[in-house]
Amino acid sequence: MSGASRGRHPGKRLSPWRVTTAIAVVAAVIAGAVAVPLLLNNDAEAATVEAGPRWFGGYFDVTAAKPSEVPTTDLEAPSNIVLSFIVAESEDSCVPSWGTYYGLDEAATGLDLDLDRRIARMRQDGAQIAVSFGGALNTDLAAACELEVQAFGGLFGSEDQRTGMKAFLEKTKATFVGK
């Protein structure tokens, strides 16, 4: 055997460059495995926000209760009450109502609900009041308003819209053709 073929692999040897590169790669992998969890954990702690006081209230359907009924509890602590439900007056209307039965003004002072007086009485008893929008049986107000916006957008480029705008600007009567 000659001196050139020393080692297990004749003609192959480890250069300082290869050794340095291998050590750098191993160090980078180990540093990443240690640093990533630490960085993620620090970000999670920084993003944590202290929770405020908890709030829970039972639903009180103002359209189902008699005007003389006010929700009460036997607890000594003030109760929380969620008045329900403000929804769209109908599927294609962006007008708010209490359960499709009463308009907001009608519910506030009308004899059927007398809601302003009832709310004042609840607050006098120490209750905190919130209002719920939505409800499973009726159209959500936001959805109904979105339909109205879509309908308006669909009509905006029509011939009748242009005729109406022209008549408005010229202060003349418009003749609509349904197009």
In a domain, residue 21? The reply is no
Q: What is the tens place of the pLDDT at every residue in 133-149?
A: 887 888 888 888 887 77
* pLDDT number for residue 1: 47
In a domain, residue 34? The reply is no
- Residue span of the structural domain in which 67 resides: 58-154
In a domain, residue 36? The reply is no
Give the list of residues 6+ apart from residue 163 with CB closer than 8 angstroms, or none: 174, 175, 176, 177
Q: What is the tens place of the pLDDT at every residue in 20-57?
A: 888 999 999 998 888 887 777 765 555 667 777 778 88
Which two structure tokens, joined as six digits, stand for 140? 């959500």
In a domain, residue 168? The reply is no
Total domains, the chain: 1
Give the list of residues 6+ apart from residue 138 with CB closer than 8 angstroms, or none: 85, 87, 88, 99, 100
In sequence order, what DSSP letters do the residues of 78-99 get, joined into one string? Answer: PPEEEEEEEEESSTT---EEET
In a domain, residue 82? The reply is yes
* pLDDT number for residue 78: 61
* pLDDT number for residue 25: 92
In a domain, residue 75? The reply is yes
Flag whether pLDDT at 175 surpasses 80.
Answer: yes
**Would the pTM count as exceeding 0.75?**
no
* pLDDT number for residue 24: 92
Give the SS3 label for residue 133.
strand
